[in-house]
Amino acid sequence: MSKRRDRVCGADVHRDLIVATTYGEDETPIREHFGTTHAELERFRDWLIANNCQRVAFEATGVYWIPIYDVLSPSIDTIVANPWMIKNIPNDKSDAKDSSRIASLCFNNQIKRSRIFSKDDRALRTMTRSRSGYIKTRTQLRNRIHKYLASCGIKLSSCISNIFGKSGRYILNGLVEEKSIDEILDGIPSGKIRKKQDLIRDALGNDLDETSRVLIKDTLDLLDLLETKVEKTSQMILDQLQGKNKDLAIVMSIPGIGFIAGSIILSEIGDYRDFGTPGQLAKWCGLSPGENESAGKKRPCGITKQGSKYLRTILVEIAHVVARMGNTRLSRSFRSMKGRKNYNVAITALARKLICLIHHLLVNQELYQEGDCDKRDSKPAKSECVSASLSEEDLEDKVAAIVDAFYRLDANSQKVVSRSILVPGRQLDGGG
């Protein structure tokens, strides 16, 4: 436990208001209100220094804590607390009481510090989450087009697996431009799709009504804009990852992890050196089992789900990919677990195994290698058959494909390559 401070401050943070209360042994508490503009935050910092506050603590309220932390942390020991860890007493809540309670907890060293990412890591995490948001919106828009077509009795998706591919978009554009069915069928660019002309003719038996035609056209325009945003964001993510090329190569050496999945994992973990063991990282991700014990009896308990939901989600998606792979160590491990547990439990266990493996590889700067592993080898350090070190040749081979894909190809080719380097055998981001 750290040394008790002589005088501390607890702050209750809101969007436009900060209520701060100082606390010290045998000292009268001092309470003050501040705004959240930069000038007000500087006044808050000067007020803390003038009152000899050696530490300040506040809850992580949305994103409102970030500018406060950036202003205070260079001058004062600043603690950002998880609100779940310092819950208040129900039906006894006010801004003044909250700030006093936080100050008291801080004075008695009862607040656990939250991990604070560096500005660069926060920027990278913001970009990867923004890209995921674009992908989610794109999926919603595509589903909307499916709904418009179905409402008009057009069953195009029944004969074309991806109506947003090259041929599918040509047909959709033809419908929007009110071309005849024969004209649309004759101009289909894919020979494989042209062989389905009879099926497509039946699927396009009904015409679009004016409302659906306008809405589909507007939605397609939004999809084109989103595609541009996704490519631009992917480029920015790649630029911000230039300082982590080696870590990216290590993560991508694991089967089932491509560029997008690897960038999300690195951005959500931040500095992996903050975790002393793989188990600590797995617990931070919310992939470790919780504890439920009473009167000496332990009951089954699921994972805590208290960590980064973005990291947990991508790890589970990768686990689904690995589970369908052939004869690899990770897929064999999944099948062994599935024989003892149900499918979902085995997938979650595989996701936890993946994050533990990632931590081991990153800490030791090793590439994953399947190799000629002994299937019965149970030693933790050797269980995944990693290489002894990461050579510069290995690094160049892993990163060169990424750099070439985003820097040296034209816009049309870029779309294809960016999809192909996500995850071998599956796209983890909704098709992009």
Same domain, 93 and 128: no
Same domain, 191 and 256: no
DSSP labels, 191-204: HHHHTTHHHHHHHT
Domain membership flag for residue 112: no
How many folded domains does the chain comprise? 3
Tell me the C-alpha distance between 173 and 163, whole Å: 11
- The pLDDT assigned to 371 comes to 63
CA-based nearest residue to 132, from 359, 347, 317, 401: 317
Question: What is the arithmetic mean of pLDDT over 144-167?
Answer: 90
**CATH assignment of the domain containing 142:** 1.10.287
Between the alpha carbon of residue 421 and those of residues 24, 235, 250, the distances in Å are: 57, 14, 15
Pairing of strands 77-81, 55-59: parallel
Final residue of a domain: which of 60, 80, 107? 107
Q: What is the pTM of this model?
A: 0.79
Same domain, 307 and 406: yes
Angle in degrees, 0-180, between the axes of helices 210-240 and 259-269, rounded to the nearest 10 = 60
Q: Over the chain, what is the mean pLDDT?
A: 83
**CATH assignment of the domain containing 25:** 3.30.420.10
- The pLDDT assigned to 378 comes to 35
Domain membership flag for residue 113: no
Q: Is the pLDDT of residue 342 over 60?
A: yes
Q: Which element (helix H / strand E) includes 20? A: strand 18-24
Residues 210-263: pLDDT tens digits?
999 999 999 999 999 999 999 999 999 999 998 888 999 999 999 999 899 999
Same domain, 51 and 148: no
Same domain, 48 and 63: yes
Per residue, the 3-state secondary structure of 343-357, as one string, reads HHHHHHHHHHHHHHH
Same domain, 197 and 259: no
Same domain, 154 and 169: yes
CA-based nearest residue to 168, from 130, 100, 216, 131: 216
Final residue of a domain: which of 46, 78, 107? 107
Domain membership flag for residue 409: yes
- The pLDDT assigned to 426 comes to 38
Residues 276-301: pLDDT tens digits?
999 999 988 888 887 777 777 777 67
Same domain, 29 and 146: no
Domain membership flag for residue 365: yes
Domain membership flag for residue 286: yes
Same domain, 185 and 267: no
Question: What is the arithmetic mean of pLDDT over 123-150?
Answer: 94
Same domain, 233 and 248: no
Range of the domain at 269: 243-292+299-420
Final residue of a domain: which of 222, 237, 252? 237
Domain membership flag for residue 114: no
Same domain, 102 and 131: no
Question: What is the arithmetic mean of pLDDT over 159-169?
Answer: 89
Domain membership flag for residue 416: yes
Same domain, 254 and 210: no
Domain membership flag for residue 42: yes
